Chains A and B, each alone.
Chain A
Amino acid sequence: MMKVYLDNNATTMVDPEVKAAMDPYFTEIYGNPNSLHDFGTSCHPALRKAMDQMYEAIGARDEDDIVVTSCATESNNWILKGIYFDLIKNGDKDHIITTEVEHPSITAVCRWLEEQGVRVTYLPVNQEGIVEAHTVRDFITDKTALVSIMWANNETGAIFPVEQIAEICKEKGVLLHTDGVQAVGKIPVDVIQAGVDFMSFSAHKFHGPKGVGALYIRNGHPLTSLLHGGEHMGGRRSGTLNVPGIVGMGKAIELANYYLKFEEEHVRRLRDKLEDAILELPDIYSVGPRANRTPNTVLVSVRGVEGEAMLWDLNRAGIAASTGSACASEDLEANPIMTAVGADSELAHTAVRLSLSRFTTEEEIDYTIEQFKKAVERLRAISSTYAYMPENMKA
Chain B
Amino acid sequence: MAKTDLIGGSIWEEYSQKVQELMNNPKNQGELTEDDAKRLGGELIVADFGAESCGDAVRLYWIVDPKTDKILDAKFKSFGCGTAIASSDTMVELCKGKTVDEAVKITNIDVEKAMRDEPNTPAVPPQKMHCSVMAYDVIKKAASLYKGVDMESFEDEIIVCECARVSLNTIKEVIKLNDLKTVEEITDYTKAGAFCKSCIKPGGHEEREWYLVDILADTRREMEEEKLKEAAEKQASGEEISFNDMTLVQKIKAIDSVIDESVRQYLIMDGGNMEVLDVKQNGQYTDVYIRYLGACSGCASSTTGTLYAIESTLKEKLDPNIRVLPI
Contacts and interface: CB of A to CB of B under 8 A. Distances in A.
Interface of A: 304-306, 308-309, 312, 315-316, 325-328, 330-334, 345-350, 381-385, 387-390, 393, 395
Contact of A332 (B24, B78, B194): B194
Contact of A393 (B45, B83, B85): B45
Contacts of A393: 44-47, 145
Contacts of A345: 52-53
A384 B81 contact: no
A332 B29 CA distance: 25
6 contacts: A304-B52, A306-B79, A328-B81, A330-B127, A334-B195, A384-B77
Nearest to B23: A312
B53 A334 contact: yes
Given A333-B194, A382-B26, A382-B85, 19 more contacts: A309-B23, A309-B82, A326-B56, A332-B130, A332-B194, A334-B195, A345-B53, A347-B52, A382-B77, A382-B78, A384-B48, A384-B58, A384-B77, A384-B78, A387-B31, A388-B46, A390-B34, A393-B47, A393-B145
B159 to A, nearest CB: 15
A171 to B, nearest CB: 34
A306 B53 contact: no
A385 B79 contact: yes
A228 to B, nearest CB: 25
A387 B60 CA distance: 10
Given A327-B128, A334-B53, A308 B82 contact: yes
Contacts of A346: 51-53
- Number of contact residues on B: which range applies? 35 or more
B192 to A, nearest CB: 10
Contact of A333 (B23, B145, B195): B195
Given A382-B26, A388-B31, A393-B145, A312 B52 contact: no
**Which 5 residue pairs spanning A and B have beta carbons closest together?**
A326-B55, A327-B81, A387-B77, A345-B53, A332-B194
Contact of B46 (A304, A325, A328, A390): A390
Given A326-B81, A327-B128, A306 B55 contact: yes
B215 to A, nearest CB: 19
Interface in B22-42: 23-24, 26, 29, 31, 33-34
B80 interface: yes
A374 to B, nearest CB: 13
B191 A384 contact: no
Identify the interface centre among A327, A348, A395: most chain B CB within 10 Å of its CB: A327
A389 B195 CA distance: 28
Nearest to A348: B53
A328 B82 CA distance: 10
A328 B8 CA distance: 13
Identify the interface centre among A330, A331, A334, A388: most chain B CB within 10 Å of its CB: A388
Nearest to A339: B53
B12 interface: yes
B53 A332 contact: no
Nearest to A383: B79
B79 A390 contact: no
A141 B58 CA distance: 49
Given A388-B31, A390-B34, A395-B48, A327 B80 contact: yes
Contacts of A332: 55, 127, 130, 187, 191, 194-195
A174 B81 CA distance: 45
A349 B29 contact: no
A395 B138 CA distance: 13
A316 to B, nearest CB: 7
A384 B59 contact: yes
Given A312-B81, A383-B78, A388 B58 contact: no
B31 A334 contact: no
B84 interface: yes
B44 to A, nearest CB: 7
A325 B31 contact: no
A326 B191 CA distance: 11
Contacts of B81: 306, 308-309, 312, 326-328
Contacts of B78: 382-384
B212 interface: no
B3 to A, nearest CB: 18
Nearest to B34: A390
A349 B145 contact: no
B46 A306 contact: no
A330 B14 CA distance: 14
B57 interface: yes
Contacts of B194: 331-333
Interface in B50-72: 51-59
A257 B145 CA distance: 63
A348 B33 CA distance: 30
B80 A387 contact: no
A306 B84 contact: yes
B82 A312 contact: yes
B133 to A, nearest CB: 12
Given A382-B29, A382-B85, A388-B33, A325 B55 contact: yes
Nearest to A330: B127
A389 to B, nearest CB: 6
A349 B84 CA distance: 14
Contact of A385 (B26, B29, B52, B127): B52
B195 A316 contact: no
